[in-house]
Chain A
Amino acid sequence: MKGKFVAGGAVIAAALAYMIYAGVTQSAVYFVTPSELRAAPVVGKAYRLGGLVQPGSLRWEPRSLDLSFALSDGKATVPVRHKGTPPDLFGESRGAVVEGSWTADGYFKASLILAKHSEEYKAPHDGGTTLGKDLIRTLKGDGRQ
């Protein structure tokens, strides 16, 4: 009796080990910096690329939903393209992590953008308020037309 259970357990353990192995090899995502990616880019491999969005590089076309920017780590920059709205915390001179792959056409095709959120304590600043007031003004003005 005991033998059957031991054999059953071994089969399950082997199946699980195989599933985990297959799962890891198929969905592994490599964390790289722009310089690391530039040094040895592999087309089609899944990367998670982290860096700073270079000032002046951000292009956003609302009609076609084309987003392009460059991620930099100070030593190297990587052009990134994405289809879709930039996330809330995304912007120039801010940290961002993108997931996707390197293409043969020489750019990084991002399927997912994760913006970095700062949790540090800081006093409330005026920027947000001005932006909000500005929005209220333009939108209300627009409403009266």
Chain B
Amino acid sequence: MRPFAYEAPSSIATAVDLLAQGGERARPLAGGTDLLVQLRLGLREVDWLIDIKRIPELRHISYDPNEGLVVGAAVTCAELGEHPDVRRHYPGLWDGAGIIGGPAIQGRATLGGNLCNAAPSGDSIPAMIVLGATCTIAGLQGTRRVPVEAFCIAPHRTVLRPGELLVSLHFPPPQARTGACYLRFTPRAEMDIAVAGAAAWVCLSEDYRRIEAARIALSAVAPTPLLVHSASAALAGQVADERCLAEAARLAQEACQPIADVRGGIAQRRHLVGVLVKRALRGAIQRAKGELPHD
């Protein structure tokens, strides 16, 4: 690994200053489970690593029924899973965050890091997208907010400019008759990377028969995690039956842009999108009805 300098500031202001000084040659270090591997392989080069784990705001989880959930960018997946409100009120988020790596990775990997690594296959990202999560980003000019669905712009590239730091992720409060679910296909249950993944969120009508609103997002089948507007729109107002699930699955298959690589082929991935979208929708509907256990 090429040599670099290391700083572990205790405030957002100092971290942003250091990142701004380092420009393109500086990078925040959260759990390091992707970044340290990339540095070792020479896939990334840095002169500065700015460890953000000593900044209190980035290590904090807060939940309020009216305000929703705020997860600091350096909160680990393990900490997320141990937080009773996360598992209880955001099981769809835990579907994604809880299957990244195995226990040793979970103890280190962060939600913010999974997003900032911007892998097309990032398991937590489709769930964050369908839940309507928003990124809070700090920079020298102040703070800005970006919806998660607009955060990743290409494989391993994000909207973050040099000197900017992802501070936290905000999830709207859970509403009645809503539910979310994320599923992926992998040859191994653990320690694997998605061949394809799908997240669904639904809001059901008062009699639980119709889908009032829905959001579908996919992983590992496009250059970035993908919000499928067409499938989301097509579900709105429909009776929540198998016919409407099949139509959403078809639209998601149409919207995805899979590539063939070591993990899977194009036809296989497109097939998986169809299966996973239907299953994720069924899971989300069951959760909205309170029928599916949280995990």
A and B co-occur in one complex: no
- Interface residues of chain B, those whose CB is within 8 Å of chain A, are none
- Interface residues of chain A, those whose CB is within 8 Å of chain B, are none
